[in-house]
Structure formats: C-alpha cells, structure tokens
Amino acid sequence: MKSLMLKLLTTIIALSSVSLFAAESSVGLDAKVTTFLQKAIAPNENYTFDKVVILKKEEMKDLSGWMVYFVRIDLNLVKQEGKKISVNDIVFTNGKILSKDFADLSSGRSMKGNYSLDMEASAYNKEHLLLGNINAPHKIVVFSDPLCPFCMDFVPEVIADVKKYPETFALFYYHFPLNIHPASPTLVKAMILAEELGDKEIVYKVYKEFFDIKETDEKAILDIFNKALGKNFTVEQINQAPILKQLNNDQELANAMMVNGTPTIYLDGKKDDTKRAYRKFIKESK
C-alpha cells in the first residue's frame, strides 16, 4: 500500500511541477506552497488529503531568489479507519513557480541531492548504538546495506576509527537494504536476530565477510549466512514480528530523512556527502 501511495503522490506532484500559483500575491509563501500541494493531490478510493507540514526551508545555494521546501504530506487511508500515511518530499519555488526538481547541466544529477533534513536527536538511541559512548560529543549515523560495495569499504573503516576513539564518537547504525540487492533483507534480518541473541560484533563480521550473494531464495541466502558466520538460524526465526518491526522502523526513518542510497552518513545531525568529515575530530583527539 505504501509503495502505491508513493507512486500516486509522486505522479500527481510531478504533473503539477511547473504550474503557477493561483493564490493571491498577498498570501505568504509558506501558505502558497501548502495550498498548492493540497490542491495538487486528488483524493481517490485509497486515500484523502489530511495536511501539508513544512519540515524545513532554506534558500537555494545555486539559484538566487529560489527557496527549498522540505514538506511532509499526510494522507488518510480510506480502507483503514484512523490510519495515515506520510510522504516526505522536496520542492523548489521562487514565489511564482513551484518546481519538483532541477538538474545540474554539467553532471545531469538532480539538485535535490544538494539539500537534506537534519537528523533528529531521537535517532541517537541505545538500540542503534553500534560503538562508542552514547554521550560522546560527536554523533555519526550510518544508513547501510551489507551488499553495497561502497558500504563494504566504508563500514569496517568507520568501525575501526570509532573503536580507537570511543569517547570522541558515538556510532549509530541503521539498516537500509536496497531493492537492487534482493538478498539484503534476508541478511539484515539475520543480523538483527544475531544481535538480539548477544552477538554485538555481527555488523563488523558481516562486512568483513564481504558477501556476494546472487541467490534470491530466502533459505538459500540464510544457509550462506549461517555457514559463513557459524549460525544455525531458520527462516521462521528471522521472520519473527520483533525483527520485522525493527527492520521496518529503520526503513521508516530512512524514508523520513529522504535517504535514497548507501552508505548515507550524518555527522552531528548534518548529512555528510564526503563520508569522511568525522576524521577531523580524530586529528583533534590525538
């Protein structure tokens, strides 16, 4: 259902992305944006509109006179009374035109990637603390997929650094298996189970193993995991409700933060596209 809502909402807003605002010029820009998005969403048999919430806004770095709006659009699910679904998105406006996105002509990349929400303090919880002191002055949050080649390089590296400086850093790890790696959800569920059973090194062990799994059958994937890491987990065990809930919670935070790739790194609440900014604090600690 959620993927359906995302597709519907993306299509609706995209079709309206270059429309002029119909609101009066005397109306504030925030109101123009929320009113426009509300009118762009057509209720149907699946959902009705609830509200638009502005999460953050800032001036564009690249285009003078344009603003970036981070918005959350809340919808009521018609067939599930009392249930809502929320979708976060980014839109751009100069007060007269609203655009869904811009592309950089030199790279062809979406300019949405240049902007991000700040990480909320609630992400710094004991359940996701991988290493370090939770009260350390610098917080690193990692969204990662165990089959992502870039993650395989980065995660062991940052783990090693935080191990050396546990009073400088707190490292928080969130699972974000990508659709392009069909075996990842099974590996992630097995990792969550292993951690629940007391294996606090499981994240490091999995990345050190450098898995390259082409299987799609869950039992076959789990057999590879079990053999490599000395476990005897069953498909039933890794699909218990608490494990599925934790995986879903991790993915919900990723969606709320508009994470769309791995590894995605936040340092002290700010997205770090360099993925190495934390190292400046290592030099200060020496």
CATH architecture of 121-285: 3-Layer(aba) Sandwich (3.40)
Helix axes 218-229, 184-196, angle to 10 degrees: 50
Supply the DSSP string of 58-78, one letter for each residue: EE-SSSTT-EEEEEEEEEEET
pLDDT above 70 coverage of the chain, percent: 90
The residue among 45 and 52 whose pLDDT is bigger is: 52
Please write the tens of the pLDDT for every residue from 171-181.
999 999 999 99
What mean pLDDT do residues 174-200 have? 97
How many angstroms separate the CA atoms of 193 and 119, rounded?
26
What mean pLDDT do residues 45-54 have? 90
**What is the pLDDT, as a whole number, of residue 6?**
52
Q: How confident is the model at residue 93 (pLDDT cuts 50, 70, 90)?
A: very high
Please write the tens of the pLDDT for every residue from 202-211.
999 999 999 9
**What is the pLDDT, as a whole number, of residue 24?**
43
> Which positions ≥6 away from 84 have C-beta within 8 Å?
50, 74, 75, 76, 77
How many angstroms separate the CA atoms of 235 and 250, rounded?
20
pTM: 0.85
DSSP 200: T
One-letter amino acid at 101 equals D
**What is the pLDDT, as a whole number, of residue 20?**
47
Residue intervals in the chain for CATH 3.40.30.10: 121-285
**Lowest-pLDDT range of 172-176, 184-188, 270-274, 281-285:** 281-285
Please write the tens of the pLDDT for every residue from 108-148.
989 988 899 999 999 999 999 999 999 999 999 999 999 99
What mean pLDDT do residues 250-278 have? 95
**What is the pLDDT, as a whole number, of residue 81?**
77
What mean pLDDT do residues 44-72 have? 91
